[in-house]
Amino acid sequence: MNHERIVGTAVPRKEGREKVTGKAVYVDDMVLPGMLYGATVRSQIPRGRIKKITFETSVAWSEFVIVSAKDIPGKNCIALIGDDQPCLASDSINHPEEPVLLLAHPDRHALRKAVDAVSIEYNPLPAIFTMEESERGSEIVWGTDNVFKTYLIQKGNVDDVWSRADYIIEGEYSTGAQEQLYIENNGMVAAYDAKQGITVWGSLQCPYYVHKALMALCDLPAEKVRVVQMETGGAFGGKEDYPSMIAGHAALLAMKSGKPVKIVYDRAEDMAATTKRHPSRTRHRTALSRDGKILGGEIEFTIDGGAYATLSSVVLSRGAIHAGGPYYWPSVRIRAKAVATNAPPHGAFRGFGGPQSIFAMERHMDRIAQVVGLSPVEIRRRNFLQPGQTTTTEQVVRELIDLGKLLDRAISVSEYQTKKQEFAIENGTGATKKGIGIAAFLHGAGFTGSGERYLSSVVGVEGCADGGVRILVSSTEFGQGTKTVLCQIAAEALGLRYEDVTIAQPDTTEVPNSGPTVASRTVMVVGKLVESAARGIHQTLKLSGMLGDSYSAEEFRAACQAYVAGHGQLRSWAQYDPPPDVFWDDEKYRGEAYAAYSWAVYIAEVSVDLTTYSVSVNDFVALQEVGRVLHPVLAIGQIVGGVAQGIGFALFEKVIWQQGRMQNNQMTNYIMPTSSDLPPIRVFFEELGNVHGAFGAKGIGELPMDGPAPAIVNAIEDALGVRFDSIPLMPEDIYDAITARSLRGEDEVASVIR
């Protein structure tokens, strides 16, 4: 399998040189002649109706361009899945960061005073801030019942298992909001011209999402909307849907003023107003046999979507499908629900519902192990999905995955058993307690269910006049290495040198819609299309008689040059074609949820300081099967970076809410890990390959976000003998739990565990 020359090697990152020299151009580095700077006036209350807007006389308003909902030429919404989120509030306010007015001025320093000089009077309405309040329905803040979406996944007859069960084990688990905290804040530049229409340049993941939103908002045909991705300083899902909002705002100001307008958020605004990971609550009720085999269970998965539907339905779907983990459930009923509250809408963040429901599953497995009297290792081993068995959506596992083998290797490299024994002795004395914890999990690559069929992505590859090859995709680079890996794939497919292949900067006037850069789909799905489009170039050259079956890079170059000289253009397109054996039922939520899964076992070692109740992660083993690793350095980078974010999710990153508003919207007060806070993160790969992905690749980007939190919290329970079912788990929570235990007494704790 490893006869490839380019995939599997650490070629230099395509845009690497620009990045290390500071020459890479991000949106805030861009200046257009006559450009204005834009700012957003936001609501200050969580819910109500606008009564009156007053412009204080301290500001020279005639110098400003002012846009309100009345200036919107098209539909006042950010078109996405549903169209419920307004671009600018005209009457109703549903969360405390809702955009109401837009201002623009040539001097960006003049804007803040102007924003502060707009005062809005409201008729306030009662607001709700928790999933429980939303479910009670005492206030209906969205639709008729506060519910954005529900799913029901049913396999077998779970109602029958309870009477046969030797153990019935229940648990409730929750996760908090998490800020993506890309280091580059969101931003857009827009320019308008009556003839050409609107152009936006920005920091974004999904050019065609922005394109669709601008067409609806500005009432323009497709050809009069152009979206260009600038170098993007991190995204992690945080630049999936909100860029459409900012692009819309910049476009409205540009249309009204006739001048280019730049809107770049500062950190405080970005953190407060843009999306975060959905807070979640998962309830498990599981039936087990005496020997620790899962007989069946019920899982209730609920997420807080915030004020508008945005991406909640799809986050919910992925969370629900991943809720059963990498285990075999003879029967299961999963009820999933996304509810509305009066917080800014929650959105995409690496893992997309998976980290939430997998946290619950993997904490629950440790709880099951205790009750049944098996080790965390053994309980998992006995329940792992095997090839030929079916998942919770009754997808047959066709991959030849051996999770038991992954588990054995992770246990061996982490020295799990030795450490278990050492810690049992060491923890008897001293103010530091050590523990070790496991998480086993899977992550589906690509859009869920029929998603890829609906997307129907198109990819182009062109032969250039100079004989080189250029990839045309809307898939974006924001650190993961999209450009590099897609170029590797094309070079490999065509037998060219890596340097012979370039990739176009995503610009909707130049590249086809290869789908959004989300859902761990780029290398697997788009990569496969790039491979096939690249082969199409060879086919064309071959059919034209300019190139044989075997050729050197120089011969290819010459043939390509000759073809372009003769025909003017050499292009090859590939469109997604769903595999024939894939079946998915959108109604029953049953079938092949994903074309392929990545699988992993992570092991975390922690120590808890009982003087300060703080946790240190001392060692971290991340072992995964992600198909073929196309670029070892980038792949390790994805895993380590994801684990670091997962450690943050578990132990550091807490959004402090007050009336739906983030209070700690500063980098000093929202705590992400620094280099001094992370353990050595040891990355290991198994490579089984994958028929659906380019050169055997599967998805990798989101996977590492799923496992760290449960592995760490399992390790903390191992260290302290105290259960924690909610993250972020802060030292304050550990203190509270330890104090509560000493008040209750040891025996009672034991009975709680049983």
Partner 1 sequence: MRSDPKDYELVAPGSLQAAVGLLARSPGEWLPIAGGTDVMVQYAAGKLPSRKLVSIWNLAELRSIEVLANEIRLGAGCTYTNIREHGVIGREFPMLSSAARWTGGIANQNRGTLGGNIVNASPAADSLPALLAYDAELILISVRGERRLPYAGFHAGYKKTKLAPDELIRAVCLPRRFSGYVCHARKVGSRNAQAISKVCMAALGRVAGQTVEDVHIAVGSVAPVPLRLSETELMLRGKVINESLVSAAKKMAVAEIRPIDDIRSTAKYRAAVTGNLVAEFLNLLSADGKA
Partner 2 sequence: MKKELVELKINGRTHELAIEPSALLLDVLRQDLGLTGSKRGCDESSCGACTVLVDGVAMMSCTLLAASCQEQEITTVEGVSQHGSLAAIQKAYGDWGGAQCGFCTPGFIMTVKSLMAENPDPSEAEVRAALSSNLCRCTGYSQMYAAIKSAIAAERNAMVEAK
10, 631 Cβ separation under 8 angstroms = yes
Of 7-15, 170-178, 352-360, 396-404, the segment contacting partner 2 by CB under 8 A is: 7-15
Give dist(CA 127, CA 134) in Å, integer: 10
Q: Among 297, 344, 437, 481, which residue interacts with partner 2 (rule: CB under 8 A)?
A: 481
3-state secondary structure of 135: helix
140, 70 Cβ separation under 8 angstroms = no
* Site string (170-209) toward partner 2, x via CB under 8 A: ----------xxxxxx------------------------
Residue 597 class from Cβ within 10 Å (0-12 exposed, 13-18 middle, 19+ buried)?
buried
Backbone angles phi, psi at 670, to 5 degrees: -100, 115
Give dist(CA 47, CA 467) in Å, integer: 60
**Residues 602-621 close enough to bind partner 1 by CB under 8 A:** 610-614
Backbone angles phi, psi at 366, to 5 degrees: -65, -35
**Residue 19 contacts which entry, partner 2, partner 1, none (Cβ below 5-8 A, type-dependent):** partner 2
Of 164-172, 441-449, 547-555, 640-648, the segment contacting partner 2 by CB under 8 A is: 640-648
Backbone angles phi, psi at 201, to 5 degrees: -120, 135
* Residue keyed to tokens 């953190």: 271
Q: Among 4, 9, 16, 619, which residue interacts with partner 2 (rule: CB under 8 A)?
A: 16
CB 257, min distance to partner 1, A: 21
Closer residue to partner 1, CB minimum distance, 386 or 666: 666
Q: Among 170, 223, 266, 291, which residue interacts with partner 1 (rule: CB under 8 A)?
A: 266
Give dist(CA 406, CA 697) in Å, integer: 18
**Among residues 86, 278, 104, which one has the least CA distance to residue 188?**
104
Q: Among 64, 142, 209, 236, which residue interacts with partner 2 (rule: CB under 8 A)?
A: 236
**Alpha helices (runs of H) in 668-745, residue ranges in sequence order:** 703-706, 708-720, 731-744
**Element at 458 (helix H, strand E):** strand 458-463
3-state secondary structure of 576: coil
CB 346, min distance to partner 2, A: 18
656 forms part of the interface with partner 1 (CB under 8 A): yes
Q: Among 32, 165, 397, 671, which residue interacts with partner 1 (rule: CB under 8 A)?
A: 671
584 forms part of the interface with partner 2 (CB under 8 A): no
Of 202-210, 222-230, 234-242, 667-675, the segment contacting partner 1 by CB under 8 A is: 667-675
**Residue 429 contacts which entry, partner 1, partner 2, none (Cβ below 5-8 A, type-dependent):** none
CB 655, min distance to partner 2, A: 16
Give dist(CA 203, CA 235) in Å, integer: 8
**Alpha helices (runs of H) in 72-130, residue ranges in sequence order:** 111-116
**Residues 129-158 close enough to bind partner 2 by CB under 8 A:** none
- Which amino acid belongs to residue 409? R
708, 604 Cβ separation under 8 angstroms = yes
Q: Among 374, 504, 667, 688, which residue interacts with partner 2 (rule: CB under 8 A)?
A: 667
Tell me the C-alpha to C-alpha distance, in Å, between residue 88 and each of 72, 206, 254, 310, 508. 9, 21, 15, 15, 25
**Residues 370-399 close enough to bind partner 1 by CB under 8 A:** none
Give dist(CA 652, CA 25) in Å, integer: 32
Closer residue to partner 2, CB minimum distance, 627 or 646: 646
**Residue 70 contacts which entry, partner 1, partner 2, none (Cβ below 5-8 A, type-dependent):** none
Residue 610 class from Cβ within 10 Å (0-12 exposed, 13-18 middle, 19+ buried)?
middle
Of 157-165, 326-334, 587-595, 636-644, the segment contacting partner 2 by CB under 8 A is: 636-644
60 forms part of the interface with partner 1 (CB under 8 A): no
CB 60, min distance to partner 1, A: 13
The sheet carrying 681-686 orders its strands as 432-445, 596-609, 614-625, 681-686
Contacting residues toward partner 2, per CB under 8 A: 10, 12-13, 15-26, 28-29, 180-185, 231-236, 266-268, 478-481, 633-634, 636-637, 640-645, 666-668, 672-676, 678, 680-681
Contacting residues toward partner 1, per CB under 8 A: 109-110, 112-113, 266, 268, 431, 610-614, 652, 656, 663-664, 668-669, 671, 673-677, 731-732, 735-736, 739
